[in-house]
C-alpha cells in the first residue's frame, strides 16, 4: 500500500467497536451455568436462574453495559451468590468473541444513509443521516456471525461532494486498520462511487483483502428492502 502524507483529510469518528451484544447474550447464559456458583445452587433456584437467562435471550440491548446491568438486577435477587460470577462469565464470553476478526465499515454518507427531512412527510427532500441511525435501522447486522466495526465521516455527505480529501481519508483508515480486519466495506453514494473506486485502486496496492464499495438509490434508513448495489471490489 502507498504511504500517505499529511495532505488534507476530513474529520472522522472514533472507531466504533461492535460489542456483538446478541452473541454475547447467548454466550453469557452458557458461561453462567458452567460456573461453580451455579452448580452449588439448589434445583429450585437453578430453575429460576434458567428462566431468567431465557428471558434475557428474548430482550434486545444497545450495549454490553445495559446487558450486564439487567442481568445483575434479575439474577442477584434470586441467587445472590451468582453476583461474583457474572463478571467472570462475561469476561469468558467476551474472550470467545474477541477471537473472531470482522469487517470494518467506513460510512461516508450517500442515499443508503438518507431519510426524509420531515419524518412525517415521506416525499420531503432526503437528507444524509449519521451512521448511528443507519445502524439502528439495520438490526440484521447482528445476525452475520462476525463483528462489524465502523468509522464514519463526522459530516456524512452526498457523494456529489466527494473529492481527493475524502479518498485520502478512506485510504488512511484502511492503512491504519488493515491488519485488524478480514475486509472493508465503504458505504458510499452512487453518483461518484465509481470515481472513488478508481482513485482507491491507485492509492491502495498489493492488497490481499477485499475492499468493497456499495451504495443504494433507495434510502436505507426508511426502506429496509433497498437496492444496495455492489460497485467494485478492490
Show which residues are catalytic. 111
Q: What is the DSSP letter of 7?
A: -
Which grid coordinates are listed for 147? 463483528
Which residues are CB-contacts of 164 (< 8 A; sequence separation ≥ 6)?
A: 7, 8, 199
Can you give the three-state secondary structure of 43-89, one letter per residue? HHHHHHHHHHHHHHHCCCCCCHHHHHHHHHHHHCCCCHHHHHHHHHH
Which residues are CB-contacts of 229 (< 8 A; sequence separation ≥ 6)?
A: 190, 214, 215, 216, 217
Tell me which residue of 234, 111, 221, 229 sits closest to 170, measured CA to CA.
234
Tell me which residue of 147, 213, 220, 206 sits closest to 184, measured CA to CA.
213
Amino acid at each position: 500500500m502507498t504511504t500517505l502524507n499529511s495532505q488534507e483529510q476530513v474529520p472522522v469518528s472514533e472507531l466504533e467497536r461492535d460489542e456483538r451484544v446478541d452473541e454475547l447474550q447467548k454466550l453469557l447464559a452458557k458461561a453462567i451455568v458452567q460456573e461453580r456458583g451455579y452448580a452449588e445452587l439448589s434445583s429450585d433456584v437453578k430453575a429460576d436462574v434458567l428462566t431468567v437467562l431465557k428471558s434475557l435471550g428474548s430482550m434486545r440491548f444497545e450495549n454490553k453495559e445495559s446487558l450486564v446491568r439487567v442481568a445483575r438486577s434479575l439474577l442477584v435477587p434470586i441467587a445472590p451468590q451468582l453476583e461474583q460470577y457474572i463478571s467472570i462469565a462475561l469476561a469468558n464470553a467476551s474472550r470467545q468473541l474477541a477471537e473472531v476478526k470482522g469487517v470494518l465499515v467506513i460510512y461516508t454518507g450517500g442515499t443508503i444513509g438518507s431519510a426524509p427531512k420531515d419524518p412525517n412527510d415521506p416525499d420531503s427532500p432526503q437528507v444524509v443521516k449519521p451512521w448511528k441511525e443507519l445502524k439502528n435501522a439495520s438490526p440484521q447486522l447482528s445476525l452475520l456471525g462476525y463483528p462489524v466495526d465502523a468509522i464514519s465521516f463526522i459530516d456524512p455527505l452526498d457523494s456529489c461532494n466527494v473529492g481527493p480529501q475524502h479518498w485520502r481519508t478512506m485510504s488512511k483508515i484502511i492503512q491504519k486498520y488493515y491488519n485488524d480486519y478480514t475486509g472493508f466495506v465503504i458505504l458510499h453514494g452512487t453518483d461518484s462511487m465509481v470515481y472513488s473506486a478508481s482513485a482507491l485502486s491507485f492509492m491502495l496496492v498489493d492488497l490481499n483483502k477485499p475492499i468493497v464499495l456499495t451504495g443504494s438509490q433507495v434510502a436505507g434508513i426508511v426502506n429496509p428492502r433497498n437496492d444496495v448495489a455492489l460497485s467494485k471490489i478492490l
